[in-house]
Amino acid sequence: MGLNDSPGAMRNGRGLSDQWAESVVVRPRTTERHITVHKRLVLGFALSILTLIIVTAVAVVLSLRFEECGGQDRDGATGETGPRGSGGSARLNGSRGERTGDRGDEEALHPWRNSRLPGTVRPRHYDLRLAVYMDNFTFSGEVSIELECVNATRFIVDRVSVTAEAGAGGRSANRPGGGAIRVHRHFPFPANQMYVVVLHRELKPMRVYRLNMSFDAAIEDELLGFFRSSYTLQRERRYLAVTQFSPIHARKAFPCFDEPVYKATFSLTLRHDPQYTSLANMPVESSSLSDEDGWVTNRFARTPRMSTYYLAWAVCNFTYKETQTNSGVTIRLYARPDAVASGAGDYALDITRRLLGFYQDYFKVQYSLPKLDLLAVPKHPYAAMENWGLSVFVEQKILLDAEVSSSSYQMELTMVVVHEICHQWFGDLVTPVWWEDVWLKEGFAHFFEYVGTDFLFPKWNMEKQRFLTDVLHEVMLLDGLSSSHPISQEVEQATDIDRVFDWIAYKKGAALIRMLANVMGQPLFQKGLNVSSCAQYSHFNFSWKTFSFPYKHHFNLKFVQMMDRWTLQMGYPVITISKNQSEQLPTHYITVSQEHFLYGQEVRRNNSLQWQVPLTVAVGNASAVCLESLIWINNKTEFHGIGQMGDNTWLLGNINQTGYFRVNYDLQNWKLLIHCWICFHLRSDSLAGLIDDAFNLARAGYLPQGVPLQLIGYLPEETSFLPWHAASRALYQLDKLLDRTEEYRLFSDYVLKQVASRYHQMGWPTNGAHPEGNVLQASYQTEELQRELIMLACSFGNKQCHRQAVAYISDWISSNKNRIPPNIRDIVYCTGVSLMDEDVWEFIWMKFHSSNAVSEKKILLEALTCSDNTFLLNRLLNLSLTSDLVPEQDVIDVIIHVGRNPQGRNLAWRYFREKWDVLNARYGEALFMNSKLISGVTEFLNTERELNELKEFIQSSGVGAGPALPRALEIVEGNVRWHRLHQRQFYQWLRKPPGPALG
């Protein structure tokens, strides 16, 4: 799953009165939703819980003797808070020592002011009963939470009657020591998303209590908590309701200890109209029909111990297909009836069955539940959510129509499924203690997207190929900014939690795990996971420190120290390698130095950061690679023996780019590497790494601008996909900077010159059926290279490419038969819309509404953003936000793609600013969405005027966007700086004939 918010200020003044707390007003944008507590509960709870913020953490203050518990209460006892609803605590910090009340300790006197739960009580089991009313989109519920008192306290969770049950000593509820505990008073504390309940009696250590609550709430038309969605079947609008609780939104739906460390079991009962089906984490244990109203009541089996944010349920009228693993696990895919009937879910169902077996073998731990449901919903804030036993996917990431879906779409869908199935172990079975370690579960799942996909389709070679361009190169762009952050971040406030879910956690986490796996070797890495994670910490929480890979002690210590540097420091180093120039050392020594890589020269002030770097180095000449070795770099500058070297010997660092760092060389070595592109026998991943490093080193000012351009001068002779893919990504980055400059034609002509020969040689794909009718059986690398070349040719203005695209569109319109090969439809649609008239735009718009294939709808929608007609672009922007014609999760993509269009850039930028309040209200709480929108709209800005507009916008409207806006500001500042410092040199190199000199 996966982004940000700025930390909220905590009130830390002394003596926040209870009277003030009772009258506190909920902030306009809160995390929780409306829940009304029934009057039949203790003290009649008159307050309507405006948001479920309030409902997760309840503090209980005891001021009278608790004679039923068989103990004498001491005078002046104060106690501790109970569970709240904000992000959870990694430590249990309540104690009996807080009972003295004379220390003036703010947390002891007013524990609800602490943003983390105190841990004096903890949940053991939830019995949750819900009635769901789909006719008016409301639900009512009752929850009974079995609590264990850890330390004597006056505070527990939530509100309502608290009943003492059998404790550690075996006392029953109806014997002395049991019975109801009277509620003295209660009040909300929205600042920390808590609800405080004051009791008349004290809870005793090692005793078990039961907290009972009732509530009513709306099934909101939003993307978090328990929300509703809809679809059309045979012109009839149908509705469904589904949960999305990660990271801190279970509190929107029911009162709970909404922190990952508070694992408990759950028994769920759902009552609803019989025309609907209900799903949950576990199978239905019993089902009954009411004689009074005919409604169905489904009681689901008790779950294993798990965190609240993995609880899930849905009420829908979907149908399903199912399969079964060899070990007897039932897998079902639920979706719209027409999608199931068309077979759109068959592919995901099949690979899920295979993946469960793969992960069981890899982790040496069986899948823990009797079933796994995959639910395809029309609306969802994320690609998918790995709820244990009920994983939820947005339709675009799980439904596949083999006749119209491209191999790229299929690859992306595959990796989403692989990611979520991995979470059934890393995340569901073992869960991070606290949100600062979220990179562990997300980093592992992101890394295993490539490992698991390689298991399914070895010929794709994903971990060795696409990981570099799609993970490593992408996240290093972000992590090279001074606004980046360590992968492990401290999280205290609920508003801090969203910011740990970003690409640094996901992609840098995956890159560091990949680096670790390569240093250790895959067999030892896999053995380490078996020993230290799933097997040992099943149904428990873990942190980075719980990993203990099977090494000798001294090496294990070295490994821990190395990883601490990478996880606790932001950014990464650039390693500079050069042949020894000192007369005091022999010629087989090299000099290696490290410094913090940053794109802005003026921010390279912090030279104190150092890493322990596993550097692989190859030495070779025009005929062969002579030597490869691993060197550990610990200091700023080091000298290492590497073997005999001559004037024509080249050095290459970070072989196959397994390390998370960039490598630079002296200009003479760059020259040798460039001219040895063909002659040295290195794998394509090393070439891809060399290309990415060269372009980014030049962008940051470490290299002359001509070096990367001269490097890719050999691309026409390259036959492998990966170097082309790395080069195209770098060229598109440059295109963002240059597409509105006066001399842009120099750049586009240079790109077309590199592309022309290979493009004409590869040609266009045919529309014939693939073997066995499945794109997976085709040569993936060949198809992807062909697609890459066509995209470059059409994007930069190749006339033949344009003519072919227009011919395809014209044939489609005239015949009403789409003969465009699926793998290039997005390129053809976009090119046709940009070159042809308004009628073509209307034709694509019509096809977008009539298509039932989710992959086809997505590329048709994005093609509409390619028009040069600003009237049509403005119309599309307004329709996407103000009507239900565009799926809610696709609105952001529409705005971003309009911004990518040079003709729509100013339009999208203005629209974004004008509609910010609406967009922020709709997407502000959804991880990634706001950040994706901000970065997508601003990354193309590169003029002084646009920079000033961004600064003004941040100053006037930047509240609530977390680190996304500061990061956007740094990127735009970098764009403007590049124009000021490097644009002239860049175009000078393009104007002069290529020569032997670099720069």
Give the number of other Cβ atoms within 10 Å of residue 588's Cβ: 16
Q: Assess whether 22 carries a catalytic annotation.
A: no
Distance CA 217, CA 230 (A): 19
> Do 218 and 34 contact (CB within 8 A), yes or no?
yes
Over the Cα atoms of the chain, what is R_g? 30
What are the Cα distances from residue 162, in Å, to 148, 669, 922? Answer: 12, 74, 37
Show the 3-state SS of 229-286: EEEEECCEEEEEEEEECCCCCHHHCCCCCCCCCCCEEEEEEEEECCCCEEEECCCEEE
Q: What 8-state DSSP symbol labels residue 471?
A: I
Backbone phi, psi, residue 73, to 5° = -75, 140
Nearest to 693 by CA among 476, 990, 517: 476
Distance CA 113, CA 24 (A): 13
**β-strand partners of 430:** 426
> Do 619 and 650 contact (CB within 8 A), yes or no?
yes
Q: What secondary structure does DSSP assign to 524-540, as a single string?
A: HHHHHHIIIIITTSTTS
Distance CA 145, CA 264 (A): 10
Distance CA 341, CA 233 (A): 12
> Do 487 and 512 contact (CB within 8 A), yes or no?
yes
* Strand-pair category, 265-272 with 121-133: parallel
Reported as type and span, the H/E element at residue 188 is strand 183-189
The answer to whether the annotation marks 553 as part of a ligand binding site is no
Contacts of 489 (CB under 8 A, 6+ apart): 436, 496, 499, 500
Burial of residue 578 (CB within 10 Å: 0-12, 13-18, 19+) is: middle
Show the 3-state SS of 286-308: EEEECCCCCCEEEEECCCCCECH
Reported as type and span, the H/E element at residue 614 is strand 613-620
**β-strand partners of 243:** 226
Backbone phi, psi, residue 452, to 5° = -65, -35
Which residue do the tokens 């493009």 mark?
Answer: 759
Residues across the chain: 999
Query: Six-digit token pair at 608?
Result: 């104190």
* Strand-pair category, 541-542 with 431-432: parallel
**β-strand partners of 651:** 619
> Do 620 and 652 contact (CB within 8 A), yes or no?
yes
> Do 61 and 76 contact (CB within 8 A), yes or no?
no
Give the number of other Cβ atoms within 10 Å of residue 553's Cβ: 7
Give the side-chain half-sphere CA count within 13 A for 489.
25
Distance CA 388, CA 650 (A): 52
The answer to whether the annotation marks 442 as part of a ligand binding site is yes
Query: For 374, left (φ over 0), alpha (ψ -120 to 50), or beta?
Result: beta
Reported as type and span, the H/E element at residue 791 is helix 780-795
Distance CA 879, CA 848 (A): 13
Contacts of 449 (CB under 8 A, 6+ apart): 415, 416, 418, 419, 422, 462, 510
Catalytic residue among 386, 395, 420, 783: 420
Backbone phi, psi, residue 249, to 5° = -120, 5
Query: Six-digit token pair at 721?
Result: 């996909």
Residues involved in catalysis: 420
- In the annotated binding site, the residues are 419, 423, 442
- In the annotated binding site for Zn(2+), the residues are 419, 423, 442
